[in-house]
């Protein structure tokens, strides 16, 4: 039954399906209604009231985001009553907002500023409330800065933390004039259950939640002639960066990104994809070792399912929420940290550099990577393995500051030694990617044959479903893997921590029977990371995912174990996966944390 509702918006007739909101209907007749608390990824709150519209015959205005269309409605989105009210609401928000815009990190990217500009709010008639307010800027976390003076109480962050992540680190406290977004007992973000995923940062309309930026520190390092500055770029950055620099979502800008980094003055531009391939070698071997212990040696202590450990948001989440399952995590460091440990050892040695003079920078789609790099255990090279982590957004800031005309840059190639990568590494940036990459290698390792899928595309693990399950049957394995003959290798994939919760609760309840679990903290995987360009929504994430799979398809080598630089590093430096050197540099341990 496709019942239609007919209504008029600003005099234009429009047909919609039942349940359509006024906001959605308006977009069908080319009318944009301003919003602040509304976000496509989140449930409707209807609390900022900026989107109010006039419904003929009603004295009160209605919030367009929260009001379903009714047959025969006559809606005005720009009547005098609406305009005056909307202006009042913007003025009210400005009166409790720290409107020192030129000194704000979000200057030019703030949704409230944009609205104030659209409505030409030139004077502040209402009395400024901020001097009466009690606020502190929370700058203790290495990842996220929370500045309550810029908060407009839209609760997008609260909904993000609850609905998408299931973390609830951010919540509403107090009421009335004292109502604020806070944490458990108002502790700093660094001391609570916050996973540093930065999804709140991605959705905050103002500068109340932003990443801690290290742009100046990196410029200083680049300008220091005594330093050798090495940069690595994560797989998802190349499909997001363009959005901040003039390209449409879903544009692959790998070559331009490399060219821009070289122009910024980095001494060596290499690729986290290299260490993603390395991760597959280590993690794949670890998985097979665990399977062997469980299935052949019948070791009751072996922990299955084994879970991936690439996503630092996921790591911190499991440390807080399911510390009894830390043994299930792969001991592999994330690709960023593997790369960092190798830069100051393997790379330094090969290039004959003093590791103390090397500054290791990473460009990540992620805010949690900043925290990860700052973890005390991440010093296995003898130095801090990764000195500075910049988000995709921070890189775009540097590119703009340097005056680089990004759109017309010629493509360039990554530097060698740790710059070669495969299609398997590229797909680390999308949910299901690590799983797919691991299966491509593990299956071949065990059977001597490539995975039995057309063009190596394991479509069962792809897509944006919150929890995906897949299995692959191992037949005719090589002699040393005979115990796997006929074994159905079962996998689960979750992205967004709320989905990780679903899976972990199933594991806890004994209802999960899979061997391998991939979890990415952010919706869509790293391509939807908290450090990626703003805005984000399902449509944008789909486009980025498409771009990542394109990049994979275009790569001449698409299996991690075939990466020549990976083969070289095992030959020259590491020996073999899970070797002693590997253990020292590429593996780590985890910490149990409190649940608040």
Partner 1 sequence: MAESYHLLKRADFIFRNENDWEDILTKTIKRTPQDIINELISSELKGRGGAGFPTGLKWKITAEAKSAEKYVICNADEGEPGTFKDREILSRVPYKVLTAMAVCANIIGSKKGIIYLRGEYHSLKEALEKTISEFEYYCKKIKLDFTVEVFMGSGAYICGEETALFESLEGHRGEPRNKPPYPTIKGYMDKPTVINNVETLAHTFTIFKYGAKKFYDLGVQFSRGTKLFSVSGDTPKPGIYELELGMSLQDFVNEFGDGDTKAVQVGGASGFLVPRKKFQETAIGYQGKLTGISLPTGGSMMIYNSSRSMFNVLDNYLEFFREESCGQCTPCRVGCQQLLIGIKAVKRGERPAQYLDKLLKLSETMQITAKCGLGQSVANSFASIVENFREEMIY
Q: Find out whether 596 and 168 touch, Cβ atoms under 8 Å.
A: no
Q: Find out whether 230 and 348 touch, Cβ atoms under 8 Å.
A: no
Tell me whether residue 49 or residue 375 sits nearer to partner 1 (CB atom).
49
Out of 10, 68, 255, 593, which residue is the one contacting partner 1 (CB under 8 A)? 68
Q: Collapsing DSSP states into helix, strand and coil, what is residue 419?
A: coil
Given the residues 526, 551, 559, 565, select the one marked as catalytic: 526
The two structure tokens encoding residue 475: 């037949």
Given the residues 186, 377, 480, 488, select the one marked as catalytic: 377
283 is catalytic: yes
How many residues make contact with partner 1 (CB under 8 A)?
39
Q: Tell me the CA distances in angstroms from 556 to 410, 441, 449, 511, 551, one per residue in order.
A: 21, 16, 18, 40, 10
Query: What angle, 0 to 180 degrees and rounded to 10, lies between the N-to-C axes of helices 433-447 and 272-291?
Result: 60
**C-alpha torsion sign, points 494, 500, 502, 508:** positive
Please tell me the distance from the alpha carbon of residue 487 to that of residue 470, in angstroms, as a whole number: 13
Least Å from the CB of residue 126 to partner 1: 5
Out of 8, 20, 24, 92, which residue is the one contacting partner 1 (CB under 8 A)? 92
Out of 60, 103, 120, 298, which residue is the one contacting partner 1 (CB under 8 A)? 60
Least Å from the CB of residue 65 to partner 1: 9
Does residue number 294 form part of the binding site for partner 1 (CB under 8 A)?
no
Given the residues 96, 243, 286, 394, select the one marked as catalytic: 286
Does residue number 122 form part of the binding site for partner 1 (CB under 8 A)?
no
Tell me whether residue 49 or residue 256 sits nearer to partner 1 (CB atom).
49
Q: Tell me the CA distances in angstroms from 355 to 220, 263, 339, 374, 502, one per residue in order.
A: 18, 23, 14, 18, 43
Q: Tell me the CA distances in angstroms from 407 to 108, 135, 265, 413, 418, one per residue in order.
A: 20, 41, 19, 17, 26
Tell me whether residue 44 or residue 326 sits nearer to partner 1 (CB atom).
44
Out of 175, 298, 511, 589, which residue is the one contacting partner 1 (CB under 8 A)? 175
Given the residues 262, 369, 370, 468, select the one marked as catalytic: 369
Q: Tell me the CA distances in angstroms from 11 to 6, 8, 54, 75, 573, one per residue in order.
A: 12, 5, 12, 8, 72
Out of 57, 176, 300, 556, which residue is the one contacting partner 1 (CB under 8 A)? 176
Does residue number 84 form part of the binding site for partner 1 (CB under 8 A)?
yes
Does residue number 174 form part of the binding site for partner 1 (CB under 8 A)?
yes
Does residue number 89 form part of the binding site for partner 1 (CB under 8 A)?
yes
526 is catalytic: yes
Given the residues 372, 420, 436, 565, select the one marked as catalytic: 372
310 is catalytic: yes
Tell me whether residue 132 or residue 185 sits nearer to partner 1 (CB atom).
132
Does residue number 495 form part of the binding site for partner 1 (CB under 8 A)?
no
372 is catalytic: yes
Out of 15, 177, 354, 572, which residue is the one contacting partner 1 (CB under 8 A)? 177
The two structure tokens encoding residue 236: 């998802």
Out of 103, 120, 178, 298, which residue is the one contacting partner 1 (CB under 8 A)? 178
Given the residues 96, 283, 518, 551, select the one marked as catalytic: 283
Q: Find out whether 370 and 143 touch, Cβ atoms under 8 Å.
A: yes
Interface with partner 1 in residues 93-112 (CB under 8 A):
93, 95-96
Out of 80, 122, 127, 509, which residue is the one contacting partner 1 (CB under 8 A)? 127
Out of 56, 129, 478, 538, which residue is the one contacting partner 1 (CB under 8 A)? 129
Please tell me the distance from the alpha carbon of residue 41 to that of residue 211, in angstroms, as a whole number: 20
Does residue number 179 form part of the binding site for partner 1 (CB under 8 A)?
yes
Does residue number 130 form part of the binding site for partner 1 (CB under 8 A)?
no
Least Å from the CB of residue 128 to partner 1: 10
Please tell me the distance from the alpha carbon of residue 172 to that of residue 580, in angstroms, as a whole number: 49
Q: Find out whether 267 and 230 touch, Cβ atoms under 8 Å.
A: yes
Please tell me the distance from the alpha carbon of residue 52 to that of residue 46, in angstroms, as a whole number: 9
Please tell me the distance from the alpha carbon of residue 129 to that of residue 131, in angstroms, as a whole number: 6
The two structure tokens encoding residue 556: 């001449």
Interface with partner 1 in residues 16-55 (CB under 8 A):
44-50, 52
Q: Tell me the CA distances in angstroms from 526 to 7, 237, 398, 462, 520, one per residue in order.
A: 41, 9, 21, 14, 7
Tell me whether residue 68 or residue 466 sits nearer to partner 1 (CB atom).
68
Cis check: omega of the bond before 140, within 30 degrees of 0: no
Catalog residues that contact partner 1 under the rule CB under 8 A: 44-50, 52, 59-61, 63, 66-68, 81, 84-85, 88-89, 92-93, 95-96, 125-127, 129, 132, 152-153, 155, 172, 174-179
List the catalytic residues.
Answer: 283, 286, 310, 330, 369, 372, 377, 526
């Amino acid at each position: 039954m496709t019942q239609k509702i007919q209504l008029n918006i600003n005099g234009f007739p429009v047909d919609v399906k039942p349940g359509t909101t006024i906001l959605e209907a308006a977009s069908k007749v080319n009318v944009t209604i301003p919003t602040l608390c509304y976000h496509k990824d989140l449930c409707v709150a209807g609390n900022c009231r900026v989107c109010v519209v006039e419904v003929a015959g009603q004295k009160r205005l209605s919030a367009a985001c929260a009001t379903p269309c009714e047959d025969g409605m006559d809606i005005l989105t720009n009547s005098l009553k609406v305009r005056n009210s909307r202006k009042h609401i913007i003025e009210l928000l400005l009166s409790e907002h720290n409107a020192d815009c030129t000194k704000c990190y979000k200057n030019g990217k703030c949704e409230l500023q944009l609205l104030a500009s659209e409505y030409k709010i030139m004077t502040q008639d209402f009395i400024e409330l901020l001097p009466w307010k009690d606020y502190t800027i929370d700058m203790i976390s290495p990842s996220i800065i929370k500045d309550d003076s810029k908060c407009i109480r839209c609760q997008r962050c609260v909904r993000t933390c609850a609905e998408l992540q299931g973390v609830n680190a951010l919540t509403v406290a107090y009421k009335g004039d004292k109502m604020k977004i806070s944490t458990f007992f108002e502790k700093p973000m660094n001391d609570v259950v916050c996973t540093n995923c930065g999804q709140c940062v991605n959705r905050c309309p103002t500068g109340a939640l932003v990443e801690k930026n290290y742009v100046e520190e990196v410029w200083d390092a680049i300008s220091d002639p005594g330093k050798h500055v090495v940069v690595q770029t994560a797989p998802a950055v190349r499909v997001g960066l363009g959005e901040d620099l003039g390209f449409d979502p879903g544009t692959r800008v790998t070559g331009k990104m490399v060219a821009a980094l070289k122009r910024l003055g980095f001494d060596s531009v290499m690729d986290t994809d290299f260490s993603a391939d390395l991760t597959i070698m280590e993690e794949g071997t670890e998985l097979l070792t665990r399977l062997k212990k469980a299935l052949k040696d019948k070791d009751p202590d072996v922990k299955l399912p084994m879970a991936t450990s690439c996503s630092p948001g996921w790591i911190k989440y499991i440390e807080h929420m399911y510390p009894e399952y830390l043994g299930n995590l792969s001991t592999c460091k994330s690709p960023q940290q593997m790369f960092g440990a190798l830069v100051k050892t393997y790379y330094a040695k090969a290039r004959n550099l003093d590791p103390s003079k090397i500054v290791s920078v990473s460009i990540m789609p992620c805010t949690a990577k900043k925290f990860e790099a700052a973890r005390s255990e991440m010093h296995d090279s003898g130095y801090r393995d990764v000195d500075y982590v910049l988000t995709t957004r921070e890189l775009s800031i540097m590119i703009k500051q340097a005056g680089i005309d990004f759109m017309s840059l010629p493509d360039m190639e990554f530097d060698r030694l740790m710059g070669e990568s495969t299609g398997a590494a590229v797909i680390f940036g999308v949910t299901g990617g690590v799983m797919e990459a691991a299966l491509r290698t593990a299956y071949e390792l065990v059977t001597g044959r490539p995975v039995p899928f057309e063009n190596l595309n394991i479509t069962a693990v792809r897509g944006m479903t919150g929890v995906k399950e897949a299995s692959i049957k191992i037949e005719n394995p090589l002699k040393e893997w005979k115990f796997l003959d006929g074994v159905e290798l079962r996998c689960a994939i979750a992205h967004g921590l709320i989905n990780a919760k679903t899976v972990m609760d199933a594991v806890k309840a004994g209802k999960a029977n899979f061997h391998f679990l991939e979890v990415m903290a952010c919706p869509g995987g790293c391509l939807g990371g908290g450090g990626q360009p703003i805005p984000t929504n399902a449509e944008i994430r789909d486009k980025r995912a498409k771009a990542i799979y394109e990049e994979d398809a275009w790569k001449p080598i698409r299996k991690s174990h075939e990466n020549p630089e990976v083969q070289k590093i095992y030959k020259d430096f590491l020996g073999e996966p899970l070797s002693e050197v590997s253990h020292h540099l590429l593996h780590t341990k985890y910490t149990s944390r409190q649940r608040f």
